Chain A
Amino acid sequence: MLRYIIKRILMLIPVLIGVSIIVFLIMRVFSPDPAPIVLGQHATQASVDAWRQANGLNDPIYLQYFNFITGAITGDLGTSYYTKAPVLKEIFSRFPATIELALLAILLASVFGILIGVISAVKKNSIFDNAGMFLALIGVSMPIFWLGILLIIFFSGTLHWLPSSGRIDPLLQPASVTGFYLIDSLISGDMYAFRDAFEHLILPASALAMYSMAIIARMTRSSMLETLQQDYIRTARAKGISEGRVIGKHALRNGLIPIVTVIGLQLGSLLGGAVLTETVFSWPGIGAYTVACILKSDFPVVQGVVLLIATVFVLVNLMVDVIYAFLDPRIKYSKKEV
């Protein structure tokens, strides 16, 4: 297993090189010159030239790429055109906000998705099944950002229950230890801050979770329906154990195996959805920031973010495969199979 993991991590390298090439092509070869955007339209030709020179944009493109890659290997992703701060610092100051949001969203999506899927499968064709699957259908058909808007209109605008934007009341901001406000506020023992951070999280996390929840619910339903048809379920029933145990211990344990893959894939797509959710809720995370940087042609930041997100995506996939092996004893990752 360890060998397999190491091998998979090594395989990450070509993927990341591929990702960097694609981003580089899009941002540096096909995109318009960033200088006028960064310096403003009234910048003199001399200042543009100086700026391009300073940022290495006058080098031949292969040299630019080479410089970028050698920098990336040593952990230097360059500096932002605007803030002049190192890209890594820019990213890591915002990344925890996105991770916190995405993790809560995937948690909500998994718990409710599996719950709805299992109930729908067990009570097939009942009113629960129909209602659950209708909800799932709406979930995959609704734009994330519109759901966010609806949540704001209803829970913030009409009911005044929850805040509509931001991560926390600035006055309550906990001392940064992990960057996760829920954890930081607990560390500092500030329950007001914890509560406030949680209240700020609920709406964006729900909006972000909806689509994934719908996908997970649909997959769980079909996986469970198939599992419930299996011979070993009949064997379990023939043992005289309760129906609850048949479903919970025998069917779910098997039916969940394919769901793990779906959840992993969803965690990847959540990072994309975060772009929209963060925009709607003015969430100070990496998603909204990236959009802004793309639009401002802040190349170094965009390259860094995309590389980071791709790494996370590939690592999550690896994690899914490892969990898979734990859930399904039939799978053994041998050296050959990679």
Chain B
Amino acid sequence: MPKDISTSSDKNSIQAAEYVEKPESQLKEMWATLRQNKAAVVGLFIIGMLTLIAVTVWVSELIGVQILPYDPNYSDMSKSFIWPNAEHWFGTDQLGRDMFSRILDGTKISLFVGVAAVAISLSIGVLLGSIAGYRGGRTDAFIMRVMDVMLAIPSILLAIAFMAALGKGLDKAVIAIGLVSIPEYARIVRGSILSVKENDYVQAAKVIGNGDSRIIFKHILPNIISLIVVRATLGVSSAVLDTAALGFLGLGVQPPFAEWGDMLGRARGFIFTAPYTLIFPGIAITITVLAFNLFGDGLRDALDPKSRIK
């Protein structure tokens, strides 16, 4: 607490302002460390490539130009189960659709669901965590007990239950996956807020008359942003996994759209006759998840001063 409010408030507000500037340099420093981490750079590169594929496919569909080798949803039963060859690099599926085109097409759904779900859990989680951490008392106890309860149910089961209530479909999968990861963000944000809340610069901001929401958004969140960025990056990888799991169980994106998990679920019956139909979609999921994990781990290491010395 400031010892002498009347004389030191100006000085404190300057200190508070200085502190808000810090995150920028914090991010800069993270980036510098990150660039030296080969694995993280590889992860970032793959994420860039995947994004490029997703955006290109999406834009080309919008303007009606086909840049994929085949229409990913065009089925020709006479061409079903063609093993991978020069014409169909990844072979064709049970309906004679080109697997290579479908897998490229699936990139946009996985990335979209991954990012959108994280956006949901992030915004709600940060909001709830901020309120809980900042308000404390009963509000805190109530919010965090609800989070505990959600954590006591396996997230995939909870997501399935949400899907059953909401119905099948892409948008609902996004919501279900987004909802189940809220507790993780809420916990991180609450914990961090509790630890920075008592800092002088926050107290100073309070003293000079900043409102609660202003203090949270202007003074507290910028200081824990790097933590949230790391969590969100790793969150995308688990959201991609969850999307695939829902798709695999037949709850996600509905046909004919290409989604990797859904492709695996529908090809399951051909596991011994056409195993290649089950190989490539899995590789696509793994590479995507791997990329976000590599990048997220790199971010975390860059953030952690202990590992920086290494």
A–B touching in complex (CB under 8 Å): yes
Which residues on A are within 8 Å of B, measured CB to CB? 14-15, 18-19, 21-23, 26-27, 30-32, 137-138, 140-146, 149-150, 152-153, 156-157, 164, 268-269, 271-273, 275-276, 279-280, 290-291, 294-295, 297, 302, 306, 309-310, 313-314
> In the complex, A23 Cα to B244 Cα: how many Å?
23
Residues of B within 8 A of A (CB-CB), count: 43
Q: Tell me which of A18, A150, A275 contacts B154 (CB under 8 A).
A: A275
Chain A positions within 8 Å of B148 at CB level: 15, 18
Q: A residues within 8 A CB of B157?
A: 271-272, 275, 290, 306, 309
Flag the segment in B57-65, B90-98, B187-195, B289-297 that touches A. Answer: B289-297
Knowing A15-B152, A23-B161, A272-B157, the reply to whether A142 touches B286 (Cβ < 8 A) is yes
B278 at the interface (CB under 8 A from A): yes
Provide the bound-state CA to CA distance between A302 and B150, in Å.
16
B268 at the interface (CB under 8 A from A): yes
Give complex CA distance A314, B244 in Å: 28
Q: Which of A26, A138, A268, A297 has the most CB of B within 10 A?
A: A26
Taking a contact as CB atoms under 8 Å apart, the answer to whether A145 and B245 are in contact is yes
Contacts A143-B241, A143-B282, A149-B278 known; A27 to B154 CB distance under 8 Å? no
Q: Which residues of B contact A157 (CB under 8 A)?
A: 271-272, 275
Chain A residues with CB under 8 A of B264: 143, 145-146, 149
Task: Determine whether the beta carbon of B286 is less than 8 Å from that of A146.
Answer: yes
Contact A143 B248 (CB under 8 A): yes
Q: What CA separation (Å) do A149 and B281 show in the bound complex?
A: 12
Q: Which residues of B contact A314 (CB under 8 A)?
A: 152
Q: Are A272 and B154 in contact (CB under 8 A)?
A: yes
Interface pair B156/A275, CB less than 8 Å apart: yes
Q: How far is the CA of A146 from the CA of B146 in the complex (A)?
A: 33
Would A30 and B160 count as touching, CB distance under 8 A? no
Q: How far is the CA of A143 from the CA of B279 in the complex (A)?
A: 12
B289 to chain A: which residues have CB within 8 Å? 140-143
A18 touches B161 (CB 8 A): no
| B145 contacts chain A at the CB level, 8 A cutoff | yes
Interface residues of B in 28-68 (CB under 8 A from A): none
- Nearest Cβ on chain B to A57's Cβ, whole angstroms: 15
8 A-B pairs besides A150-B282, A294-B164 with CB distance below 8 A are A27-B161, A153-B272, A156-B272, A276-B249, A280-B268, A290-B160, A294-B163, A309-B157
Shortest Cβ gap from A86 to chain B (Å): 21
Q: Which residues of A contact B271 (CB under 8 A)?
A: 149, 152-153, 157, 164
User: Inter-chain contact count A-B, CB under 8 Å?
Assistant: 136
Task: Please name all residues of chain B whose beta carbon is closer than 8 Å to the beta carbon of A309 when the two chains form the complex.
Answer: 153-154, 157
Which residues between 246 and 295 of chain B lie within 8 Å of chain A, taking CB atoms? Answer: 248-249, 251, 261, 264, 268, 271-272, 275, 278-279, 281-282, 285-286, 289-290, 293-294
B186 to chain A, nearest CB (A): 15
Which 9 pairs from chain A and chain B are nearest by CB? A272-B154, A18-B149, A146-B282, A141-B290, A30-B165, A141-B289, A31-B165, A310-B152, A272-B156
Residue from A22, A144, A145 within 8 A of B153 (CB atoms): A22
Residues of B within 8 A of A152 (CB): 271
Please name the residue on chain B nearest to A142 by beta carbon: B286
Closest to B166 in A: A30
Distance in Å from the Cβ of B174 to the closest Cβ of chain A?
A: 16
The yes or no answer to B73 lying at the interface (CB within 8 A) is no
Which of A14, A22, A30 sits near B150, CB closer than 8 Å? A22
In the bound assembly, the distance between CA atoms of A156 and B278 in angstroms comes to 15
22 residue pairs of the A-B complex, CB under 8 angstroms, read A22-B150, A23-B153, A32-B167, A137-B290, A142-B285, A143-B244, A143-B245, A143-B286, A144-B245, A146-B244, A146-B278, A152-B271, A153-B272, A153-B275, A156-B272, A275-B160, A279-B248, A291-B160, A294-B161, A294-B163, A310-B152, A310-B153
Judged by a CB distance under 8 angstroms, whether B237 is at the interface is yes
Report how far A26 CA is from B153 CA in the complex, Å. Answer: 13
CA distance A266 to B167 in the complex (A): 29
Complex Cα gap A273–B155 (Å): 10
Question: What residues of chain A lie closer than 8 Å to B281, measured between beta carbons?
Answer: 146
Q: Are B278 and A306 in contact (CB under 8 A)?
A: no
A30 to B176, CA, bound (A): 13
List chain B residues, Cβ under 8 A from A141. 237, 286, 289-290, 293
